[in-house]
Amino acid sequence: MYFAYGSSFLLNVTSEASGVGAGALLRAIEPLEGLELMAGSCGSTPLADVGRGPGRLTKALQVDLRQDGLDLCAAGPLWLAATEQRTGTIGKSVRIGITRNVHRTWRFYERGNAHVSGPKKLRR
């Protein structure tokens, strides 16, 4: 977890041992459960936009620096879990909002999912 742009918490998932720089920024979620709770924390944001974008994602999940360092593979207040919902085709694109290594396709998303953050063409 970290605070960015003076306004939003962002959630990274690290994938290596402590001290090794490797991880992924979670940019969006598709709300499947807890919709009323998420919508309530996001004010008048349309449901399709509640989890679209890294700042909205953390707001919808009500996560902040208190969750920094949690083991997301262990059951707890915040964890990654498998879903029974089928995942569509995975696409990849260049990263968003960076100035270095802009040609690298290190951004992955579910093609055609209305909850994907970034350019509208990724949601089609």
Taking only the tens place, the pLDDT of each residue in 41-55 is 776 777 778 888 899
Which residue segment(s) compose the domain that 80 sits in? 2-123
Count how many residues are written for the chain: 124
Tell me the whole-structure pTM to 2 decimals.
Answer: 0.80
Domain count of the fold of the chain: 1
Query: pLDDT 10s per residue in the chain (124 long)?
Result: 889 878 899 999 988 888 888 888 899 998 888 888 887 777 677 777 888 889 999 999 999 999 998 999 898 888 888 888 888 999 998 887 778 888 888 889 999 888 888 877 777 6
CATH code of residue 55: 3.10.300.10
Is residue 72 within 8 Å of 79, Cβ to Cβ? yes
**Cα(72)–Cα(100) distance, integer angstroms:** 29
pLDDT of residue 40: 74
